[in-house]
Amino acid sequence: MKKAMSKGLIKVIYLDHSNDFSGGQKSLLALLTLIDRSQIEPVVIIDIAAMKMESELRKLNINFYKINFYNIKYLEYALVPIVVFNLLILIKKLKIDLLHCNTFKSGLLGSILTLFLNTPLIFRARLGILFLSHGILDKIIFNRAHLILANSYYVKQTFTTRFGESNKVSVVYNPLVDEIILKKEIQSLLSKQYFNDSSIFYFGVISRVEPFKRLHDVVDAVKELVRTRTNFKVLFIGAKSKADGDDYFNLLQSKIKENQLQQFFEFTDYVSDIHEITSLLNCVLLCTEGEALSRGVYESQLLGVPIIASDSGGNPELIVHNETGLLFMPGDIKDLAEKMNQIMNDKTLSDKISVSAKANVKNLFANSQTIDREISNYQSLMSK
């Protein structure tokens, strides 16, 4: 597998099929921002409709190519042979050292490409494959990948449970920019738009509007909470999922209206200045079950915003209950409502969590634990 590297660099293609712009894409951009280009030459292949990703890659001066990944509901897997053929032509021209797949679908495409390329395959595993199983497709990726970079220890455990112990699975957290510089003028504008009542406690859910994020749990918790208090509001910060369309969004709207809760919710849609709006929140909520490791959680912690999250997936790796956040039992609406009430009532606890969580996340996501380990894995793979 050992290959000669041009100019002493490891040339890596990062493959990302998504035309959404969410945690996986933001994490890839963070990696590309921090990566040492004297060691790594990055090239990114994205979907023709990934306009936001294209814009961000241009800002970073990263070389990229666009192809049609045919992200068409019900047809995308039938069209995989066309995508593989187009990728094969492009990748052979680029003469790369490593193929790094940043999403599940790109991992499947990469697995097929290894049948025709003598190029090591890295799969960035962003999902726990128990709650979010793709059946035989997970096994294909596991078997064909030379290295699997698990987003969290939880993700690694799901691979171990499915396929047994394997030294090809390595835990490397996504990189995190050490300090987030907030734009004060943007903060001011967002404050006037969404946070114009100083008597209100503002919760935020930072995610796409899709069923996996379990935003309906927040609606049900608010239904419980309004029986005893009304001085709060929840912002759903994120766009509707392109895969799901309007179905889940409409379901949430109907649920809110049926329970006469309109005054307690606001949908912001996609907000480009996510750090600025997050910094203005009093608390961030995460209700998912089996999520690998939410970027929204650790970026909020870095910003000093306390978190209430489900005791599931990778969340306990970031949150020690009552120290670096609050945990509730997944799907337990009353428990979630109680934790929301607790954080509103206890300013001392909220402040303690903010300070402790920020220190903890800086330690967990230090460069030695993220970007340095990523590059070390590349170098180790190339030396075999």
Q: Which of 12, 65, 64 has its CA nearest to residue 36?
A: 12
Summarised one tens digit per residue, pLDDT across range 141-183 is 999 999 999 999 999 999 999 999 999 999 999 988 767 889 9
Distance (Å, rounded) from C-alpha 374 to C-alpha 362? 17
pLDDT more than 70, % of the chain: 98
Angle between the N-to-C axes of helices 136-144 and 153-163, in degrees from 0 to 180, rounded to the nearest 10: 100
| CATH number of the domain where residue 193 is located | 3.40.50.2000
Write out pLDDT tens, residues 51-82: 999 999 999 999 999 999 999 888 888 999 99
Dump pLDDT digits (tens) for 71-122: 988 888 899 999 999 999 999 999 999 999 999 999 999 999 999 999 999 9
Rounded percentage of the chain residues whose pLDDT exceeds 90: 81
Exposed e or buried b for every residue in 98-116, given b needs 16+ CB within 10 A? Answer: bbbbbbbbbbbbbbbbbee
Would 255 be classed as within a structural domain? Answer: yes
Within-domain flag for 211: yes
Tell me the per-residue pLDDT of 288-338, one tens digit each, with 9 for 90 and over. Answer: 988 888 888 999 999 999 999 999 999 999 999 999 999 999 999 999 999
Q: In the prediction, which pLDDT does 135 show?
A: 92
Residue 119 lies in a domain: yes
- Give pLDDT tens digits for 29-58: 999 999 999 999 999 999 999 999 999 999
Instruction: Note the Cα 80 to chain centre separation in Å.
Output: 24
Model pTM score: 0.89
Instruction: Say if residue 20 is in the same domain as residue 101.
Output: yes
Tell me, yes or no, whether 344 and 378 share the same domain: no
Same domain, 147 and 188: no
Identify the pLDDT of residue 178. 65
Identify whether residues 308 and 373 lie together within a single domain.
no
Count Cβ atoms below 10 Å from residue 30 Cβ, excluding itself: 19
1 domain-assigned: no
pLDDT in the model for residue 1: 47
Question: Does residue 42 sit within a domain?
Answer: yes
pLDDT of residue 4: 44
Is 60 exceeded by the pLDDT of residue 6?
Answer: no
Is residue 207 located within the same domain as residue 220?
Answer: yes
Q: In the predicted model, what is the mean pLDDT of residues 354-364?
A: 94
Given a cut of 90, whether residue 241 has pLDDT beyond it is: no
State whether 240 and 302 are in the same domain: yes
Q: What's the mean pLDDT when you consider all of the chain?
A: 93
> What local confidence, expressed as pLDDT, does residue 219 receive?
98
Q: Are residues 207 and 352 in the same domain?
A: yes
| pLDDT for the residue numbered 130 | 87
| Same domain assignment for residues 266 and 300 | yes
Query: Do both 227 and 92 map to the same domain?
Result: no
- pLDDT at residue 7, as a whole number: 54
Structural domain boundaries, residue 319: 184-364
Task: Look at residue 67 and tell me if it is in a domain.
Answer: yes
Statement: residue 243 has pLDDT above 80: no
Q: Would you give the distance in Å from CA 59 to the centre of its chain?
A: 21
